[in-house]
Structure 1
């Protein structure tokens, strides 16, 4: 199997640098390779709806310019941000483009060679529940380890899941593991800070605040616009 080229041009794609005395040392790319290998069982696929999102095309080009500019700056230095464990927290009204922007960030991370896991919170919790039915004794711990080690963990719709002690425990465990490992998190939510804290607990939100740059997106629900009749049709209907 062909090896991926070293993004730093230092090794032969193995993740090791062989010295003149034939001793091997870790290459700068080895940490990325290990993270990718551990995350292979995680969801790292951009959903079909978002595979062609771009800064130059709607809906991204129609979003508030200051927010888009900040996201452009983030992806321009994606390596630095992920290395530092710096993520993004996109919040605001329903249908304002949060998920589209987040998927664009994840695509840039994948294109840059980083390991990425992409989940809606309900799906992520479902996968955790599935580990309880797995015969492997440590499958739950192994899943949490993979979620903790991936370069970027993208969780969509945080706060949408009905809360229970079990849900709160799982979400805290994931966020705290990444917090301790200084790994970046990318989240979207419809809830403002205090409302989210009521939903998923203050201790989880406090960690996310420290880990993420917070970007608000407000406005009309773009998904509803297709159902609104043009003005001239409304006038004709009124006259009738």
Structure 2
């Protein structure tokens, strides 16, 4: 079930149409509350056909909050059997606009709460990561800090271990959340565990549908035919739906290594093509911004 669109009767309605489109598109499946069939006041206002469709949608576990269709004060709808659905009724449309804004505010709150949970534990160190706080080595030519404002759909942070790739990736995530995007992040090995039988049954849906997905440490996970299939399904779905994806890896694209890899050190293995195959890697690189990290390791032994 989706949120019913408002008919745009005047220029001011265009913003509301946009809001409703967002309400349909950006819904966190785990957190948006289900409608309560025990209090079906809004169902009673629907036509018999619409009511049957609404109930069927709820029974399938629809996760989109439906807009009430009860008329507003001084409703002038000529169709008494379908109050709230007539575009010529200002009171009805005003009530529906208010509810649409309420739905979006709810979803915004849920997305922020979900991201705070994402930062608990393993990624707590990155809760305060910001784009403005990135070092020059983490943001060459502003390619990381400006990425969300470009048409590029994939951000590939590549380089040796311990150069700050994960920190930069989470800085992008935190900024995306600040912009009210639905963001999720996983270490690739942890995501594979969640996808296995007995794991999180919503993990793939979250990873596929999020406005921005960050996959950390691609290349460190154990490979199998099953994990390759899951990665292909996920990357392919996100590319087809033009959703933003960030990932960090220490693997070069192919056997040539990085741009600064000396000839005598080539061919470089492992590399992304060898490990994942061209089908997956070409999708990752489609419309991608690739940022190469340089410098000394940020992880050093403590003196004693």
- TM-score computed with the length of structure 1 as normaliser: 0.70
Unaligned runs of 5+ in 2: 32-110, 255-270
Q: Which residue number in structure 1 is paired with residue 145 of structure 2?
A: 72
Aligned residues: 197
Q: Which residue number in structure 2 is paired with residue 217 of structure 1?
A: 293
Distance change (3 Å), C-alpha of 1:68 and 1:156: farther
* Partner Cα distance (1:150, 1:39) in 2: 10
Q: Is the 8 A contact 1:39 1:147 kept in 2?
A: no
Q: CA deviation at 1:100?
A: 0.4
1:95-128, CA deviations, whole angstroms, 9 ceiling, x for partnerless residues?
1010000000000100000111111101111111
Greater strand fraction, Structure 1 or Structure 2? 1
Q: Which structure 2 residues correspond to residues 114-129 of structure 1 after superposition, within 5 A?
A: 114-129=181-196
Alignment partner of 1:154 is 2:214: yes
Q: Is the 8 A contact 1:156 1:187 kept in 2?
A: yes
Q: Which residue number in structure 1 is paired with residue 174 of structure 2?
A: 107
Q: Is the 8 A contact 1:35 1:115 kept in 2?
A: no
Among candidates 136, 149, 161, match of residue 94 of structure 1: 161
Among candidates 4, 23, 37, match of residue 27 of structure 2: 37
Distance change (3 Å), C-alpha of 1:27 and 1:171: same
Secondary structure class of the residue paired with 2:162: coil
Secondary structure class of the residue paired with 1:38: coil
* Partner Cα distance (1:185, 1:228) in 2: 38
Q: Is the 8 A contact 1:184 1:211 kept in 2?
A: no
Higher-RCO chain (CA-CA 8 Å, sequence separation at least 6): 1
1:159-204, CA deviations, whole angstroms, 9 ceiling, x for partnerless residues?
1111111111110110011111111110000111120121122111
* Partner Cα distance (2:22, 2:272) in 1: 32
* Partner Cα distance (1:124, 1:49) in 2: 19
Q: Is the 8 A contact 2:235 2:283 kept in 1?
A: yes
* Partner Cα distance (1:29, 1:116) in 2: 19
Q: Is the 8 A contact 1:39 1:115 kept in 2?
A: no
Instruction: Please give the root-mean-square deviation of Cα atoms over the aligned residues, in Å.
Output: 3.0
Q: Is the 8 A contact 2:132 2:145 kept in 1?
A: no
Query: Which structure has the bigger radius of gyration?
Result: 2
Q: Which structure 2 residues correspond to residues 139-218 of structure 1 after superposition, within 5 A?
A: 143-194=203-254, 195-218=271-294
Q: CA deviation at 1:85?
A: 6.3
1:122-174, CA deviations, whole angstroms, 9 ceiling, x for partnerless residues?
11111111xx348xxxx96x653443221111100111111111111110110
Unaligned runs of 5+ in 1: 1-13, 230-240
Q: CA deviation at 1:20?
A: 5.9
Identify which range, 41-50 or 160-169, moves more after superposition: 41-50
Identify which range, 146-155 or 173-182, moves more after superposition: 146-155
